[in-house]
Chains A and B, each alone.
Chain A
Amino acid sequence: MERELMLRVKNLKVVFPTPAGVLRAVEGIDLDIHKGECVALVGESGCGKSVSALAVMRLLSTPPAVVRVDELTLDGEDLRDLSEAKMQDIRGKRMAMIFQDAMTALNPVMTIGRQLDELYIRHEHMNAHDARKASIRALELVGVPEPASRANSYPHQLSGGMRQRVMIAMAFACMPKLIIADEPTTALDVTIQAQVLDVLNEMQKKHDVAQLLITHDLSVVANTADVVYVMYSGRIVERATVHDLFNAPQHPYTKGLLASVPKLGDEKRKFTQIPETVPHPLHKPRGCYFHPRCPRATAFCGKDVPPLLETPDGRQLRCWYPLLAKGVDRP
């Protein structure tokens, strides 16, 4: 059931030149998101997921970042060489972003109503009156009680979950084709997380919007995503449908991530951890980036970078010794 392609990213590379060396944030990743699909981009902090999202929106400014990409297409339109003015038309209207911490992501001296109105005035060319009506309706849709009076509140007067709903409302306001949600629930309490995720899910499904969900939390992925990309230190190391990923992970890193999520009814006594930490972006290891932490690593893993292999049904893997296969041909 191949639906039309909404976002295609090919060979996205982002580096940051610094006095200490060239910092490689994103090293040639591909992303495909289809209409109505929810794609999760999973990885530890610092693996380059947020940078990728900003690169897709072309929000990375050139100092300090340098961005190269072979293909960046949104709903058939090539974004690479568009002028900044045209990009401003697209942002907020055809693709939108939800940020992690709604407290700092909202302007503290502007009412939330005004911040919503802005979108309608800018992209739908409404006047202030109509914009406010639309904003109130948007707040209603995301489940904010008493939307008409809440619109006159300031961000600091709302609770965390409420603020995040406002961010969701802002993202969906102009009915974009693609929504990028960067860690939308990380800053919230667990109970509120569930509520906000539900709202997000509901909005996405109802309006058939493609979604790129960025998170480090696998439990969030299980309930909402269709396809999962696993990212490590700037590279994609695995891609699978959510079912395949959770039931039959191929990459040792994915297995490690899954194992470290505590589950009810788990009989283990200690937390499972992946040893050591992510490589420093300026000093990455030779060969496979994960091999210093990998329980299955051999001497060979530290020599050559494993290629990204792709099966006909869309599964991708970057590993010399995958968990379920008999091994990959080595040069």
Chain B
Amino acid sequence: MKAVVRTLGTAGSAILRFLAPIGRFLRSVWRHPKGRVGLLIVALLVVCAVFAPWIAPYDPYDVTERAAKGLAPSLEHLLGTTITTGQDIFSMLIYGTRVSLLIGITTGVAIAFIGAFFGILAGYSGGVADTVIMRVVDILLVIPTLPLIIVLTNLFGRSYLMIIAIFAAFGWTGLARVIRSLVLVLKNANYVKAAELAGASRARIMFRHILPGVSHLLIMSTALSCAGIMVAEAGLSFLGLGDPTAISWGKMLAEAQSGGALLFGHWWWIFAPGIGIFLAVFGFMRIGLALEEMLNPRMKQSNGLFKLFRHLDNARLEEVFSQMDAERGNRPWNGN
């Protein structure tokens, strides 16, 4: 019985230790104006993805209403219907969040794990491990990403899982490099040296000391990776190389182009999925940007200062100056 409680306790505290920084970050991102916008957008998208069947007015796959092809936006079809098949565009938009978020977030998290693992390992261990890992990174970075992904999906199939796996297998390199640079700096921090002196094992130091140190950077990079992955996935499905059964914004754009949306001026068919992609990417990027500004305050836009100058009326400044003049009080003295 005691053993059960103890293992639960250790598991529980491990989970809490994992979740706590995430909770803290969410709160700090919420406080940041840019971050708040990002969080709201992402939350909106998640809601759409999860509750798609309830939010979307029609079944997006429904092609039975042949007469209703190519409709302009109206009250019945908020974003009109496709020219080719008469599917409701608005419903397709809502369902599209599922694919983007699923692939974006899953791959992003996978990249976070892989990238952090190799980055920390390379940075902290140094020596052979570092060299090997960095050489692998260099080699992977040299191969052009999109063609490689196309080849691999050709060879190994186009299911969701395969796409996520391939994206993750080649997307971790940038993150690993960035994490490694930070780890190289953290390695020399006093608290790490103290842990080493105390005899902590390498694994323990890497997990308990270095990892929290890079967590901020890690989460920020993950947010940005998710954004990048979503663009890449959109590109892939635009080329028709994504999962064939999925409704994806990229695919919608491709269908729009080949279905003649441009020709017939159906701008809504183009803009709907495009705005979808934009929102998803924008949301994650805002979160990433907010975290970046928190990490590196110098990069903040300081246009506030100049505007401030105009607001601060000269009367106030003159007040300060005359007060200083009054307090100067130079007086001769005999130095008794």
Contacts and interface: CB of A to CB of B under 8 A. Distances in A.
A28 interface: yes
Interface in A315-331: 315, 317, 325-326, 328
A277 to B, nearest CB: 22
A226 B313 CA distance: 43
A17 B317 contact: yes
Contacts of A315: 335
B166 to A, nearest CB: 41
Contacts of B336: 325-326
Contact of A22 (B316, B329, B330, B333): B316
B333 A28 contact: no
A312 B321 CA distance: 28
Contact of A305 (B312, B321, B329): B329
Interface residues of A, number: 28
Report, nearest first, the 7 A-B pairs whose CB atoms are least far apart.
A307-B329, A309-B333, A311-B335, A305-B327, A28-B328, A28-B324, A27-B324
B325 interface: yes
Nearest to B317: A66
Interface of B is mostly: helix
A313 to B, nearest CB: 8
Interface of A: 11, 13, 15, 17-19, 22, 24, 27-28, 30, 63-64, 66, 68, 305-312, 315, 317, 325-326, 328
Interface residues of B, number: 22
A226 to B, nearest CB: 20
Given A15-B317, A27-B327, A325-B336, 6 more contacts: A15-B321, A27-B324, A63-B305, A63-B306, A64-B305, A311-B333
B335 A325 contact: yes
A307 B304 contact: no
Contact of B328 (A11, A22, A325): A11
A68 B335 contact: no
A63 B331 CA distance: 34
Contacts of B329: 305-308
Contact of B330 (A13, A63, A307, A311): A307
Contacts of A64: 305
Contacts of B312: 17, 22
Nearest to B306: A63
